Structure 1
Amino acid sequence: MKRLNKVLKEDGVETDLIMLIRTILATTKEIAFRVSQGELAGVLGSTLNENIQGEVQKKLDVIANQLLKDTLIDDDLVKTVASEEEDNAVGAHPEGKYIVAFDPLDGSSNIDVNGQIGTIFTIYPAKVDVPYDSDEQFNQPGTNQVCAGYVLYGPSSLLVMSTGGPTRCYTHDLTHGGFLLTKPELLVPSKSREFSVNMANYRYWDESTQVYFDKLLYTSEEFDKSSIRYNAAMVGDVHRILCRGGVFMYPQDTRAGNENGKIRLLYEANPLAMLTENAGGIATSKGRRILDIQPDDLHQRVPVILGSSEPVNYFDSIVY
């Protein structure tokens, strides 16, 4: 099996970007260790604080966020850093080539029950005409991403990443400490009857979205024997879809603050859309390609459906 560095060089990734990716992954290895220690390290439970999203922060959320932020700010290649846990972007180095955004621990509600969690990250080229400490560094569509990936913490730590080419999967080798290529190319099948959604939100969805799920669950023979697979962690649900097909959905609903759903465009939707598209799937928001959306806010939210092309297109045809 090939080491990560060798694969990236064969893919023609420039040296500076390889070095930055290595910096990020070195920090995820530290996070993986903290996750594996769990209660033994005193990292479980919640803090008394809320993040910018209005969510109560878990202790491990705070630790992972600080580890990533400190490491990236210390890297000369990084101009600006943005985290789902921070109110604003943080300036690093005025002459840095790249900007990095991350969700330090997606699925943090699963931390205390030893469920699936992961770190999502994305890298963009820095803007030369915008101050290095400005949120506007990240006002770029997802098509500008030069790298997107996540590390899924579990029985083994898996890295799924694309630098513009195929979406590849690597496994962390505890013996040698590096990531080894274990799936050279993930390919999402065009058809699938598995879907991932929080069905408890059905009562809050608009009528067209409810009609889609009524067809899916009760009336459409085309989608007979559909199965729900839901982890309460987008990173885990999308990983399953990348490996065997299906769709992940988080529609908008009628609750205050959920008019555009809950998925953050910068930290979750864009990087996972890039990984999905580069694996042959589709990722849309209100019938529009996610990667084409021009963001206007650091913490902008968008409704999301992504995965196998047939069910995504079917959803969009009914709802939009």
Structure 2
Amino acid sequence: MREAANTPDLASRLETWAGTDPVRLDVASTVNVLARACGEIALLIAAGPLAGAMGASLGADNGGGDVQKELDVRCDTIIREACKAAPVAALASEEADVAIPLDPEGRLLVAVDPLDGSSNIDTDVSVGTVFSIRLRPETGDPTADAAFLRPGREQLAAGYVVYGPHVALMLTIGEGVDLYVLDPARRRFMLVKAGVRVPEEAREFAINMSNYRHWDDRVRAYVDDLIAGRDGPRSNDYNMRWIASMVAEAHRIFMRGGIYLYPGDDRKGYAAGRLRLVYEAAPIGMLMEQSGGRASDGETNVLDLVPEKLHQRVPLIFGSRLKVERVERYLTSGWGHSERSPLFSNRGLLSA
């Protein structure tokens, strides 16, 4: 990959940002450690079946209650070992039941989903890593689960790495969102775009339509109006996307705009959706807000939600701000009647 002579790498950008501030220096050190770990994960993923049966189920549940795959565990180990070299008091991982104590003198806490979208491993579809960094509490045990049960607005940094045709890092340190790409020759993340903004207009939405029959009527109303296309209240045709990898969905939205929805539904265990507030919703929420987008549980900005437990799940809607706010109106104003044309007020998905 050829780079411009003046393209800075992640480490130098963080060094300039941190200056001599002790907290910023710790954040910079931790982001660098996580980036190196993700570079190692990228190599493992790129090896595919040559690295073994990475998509094999281990027959055990992780901390969030999902079945673990071999690659989930390998990625979790890589990140856990890497964080031992950072000023991190405790690590909360989607793959662990409880928070893991690390450096007793560490100033920071890290929450991570080591491998988002692992169901896609065998089909060679993009997967990713999501992380969140915050200060340890001033009182109480920093290694206890309770240390992580704070609103997402307290995050100091958040980001994700998507392992696709190229390996990309989307990062916020509270001053906008920057996009880096991994230089495979030197294994360093290079800045390719500073100040990323979520495009405001896009005719794309991401949702798993196979769950249509399980959704709340208000969610159906919103999706029906999109599917009605140019003949419906939106007066535009829309394309639907569904990758089953939240990080890949988020990256597409950063590049092209649109909206992603994973609502709760009436299936057992899905009333509150399936995505985790601490590991997934909060960091994605910070990235979205820092780039002009929005992330919500359908009523409330996810950054304002206070987790009640480490592996708490929440409905998650994120993307272009105006689109997310429109969905919130559907969900809070009663079936979205205020948004819909009378022609479609009683029309189902498959009706003529």
> TM range, normalised to the smaller chain?
over 0.9
Query: What's the counterpart of residue 277 of structure 1?
Result: 289
**Correspondent of 2:73 among 59, 62, 72:** 62
Rg larger in structure: 2
Matches of 1:223 and 1:138 in 2, distance apart? Answer: 44
Query: What's the counterpart of residue 4 of structure 1?
Result: 10
Matches of 2:200 and 2:323 in 1, distance apart? Answer: 8
**Correspondent of 2:129 among 113, 116, 119:** 119
When the two structures are aligned, how many residues end up with a matched partner?
A: 319
TM-score (norm 2): 0.88
Q: Name the SS of the counterpart of 1:158 in structure 2.
A: strand
Residue identity over aligned pairs, in percent, reads: 38
Matches of 1:19 and 1:260 in 2, distance apart? Answer: 35
Query: What's the counterpart of residue 130 of structure 1?
Result: 140
Query: What's the counterpart of residue 263 of structure 2?
Result: 251
How much does 1:284 deviate?
1.1
Q: Following superposition, which runs of at least 4 residues in structure 1 exceed 6 angstroms of deviation?
A: none
Query: What's the counterpart of residue 341 of structure 2?
Result: none
Query: What's the counterpart of residue 18 of structure 1?
Result: 28
TM-score (norm 1): 0.96
Q: Name the SS of the counterpart of 1:11 in structure 2.
A: helix
Q: Name the SS of the counterpart of 2:96 in structure 1.
A: coil
**Matches for 1:135-174 after TM superposition, within 5 Å:** 135-174=145-184
How much does 1:143 deviate?
0.5
Query: What's the counterpart of residue 331 of structure 2?
Result: 319
Residue type at the aligned position of 2:73: V
Q: Residues 150 and 306 of structure 2 are in contact (CA less than 8 Å); yes or no, is this contact kept in structure 1?
A: yes
Residue type at the aligned position of 1:70: E
Q: Residues 193 and 223 of structure 1 are in contact (CA less than 8 Å); yes or no, is this contact kept in structure 2?
A: no
Q: Residues 93 and 132 of structure 1 are in contact (CA less than 8 Å); yes or no, is this contact kept in structure 2?
A: no
**Correspondent of 1:53 among 64, 70, 78:** 64
**Correspondent of 2:301 among 273, 289, 310:** 289
Matches of 1:220 and 1:275 in 2, distance apart? Answer: 32
How much does 1:12 deviate?
4.1
Query: What's the counterpart of residue 177 of structure 1?
Result: 187
**Which string of whole-angstrom CA distances, capped at 9 and with x for unpartnered residues, describes residues 124-180 of structure 1?**
101121213200110111101111001111221111100001111101012222110
How much does 1:99 deviate?
0.4
Query: What's the counterpart of residue 316 of structure 2?
Result: 304
How much does 1:286 deviate?
2.6
Q: Name the SS of the counterpart of 1:68 in structure 2.
A: helix
Matches of 1:169 and 1:196 in 2, distance apart? Answer: 22
Unaligned runs of 5+ in 1: none
Matches of 1:187 and 1:76 in 2, distance apart? Answer: 30
**Correspondent of 1:31 among 28, 35, 41:** 41
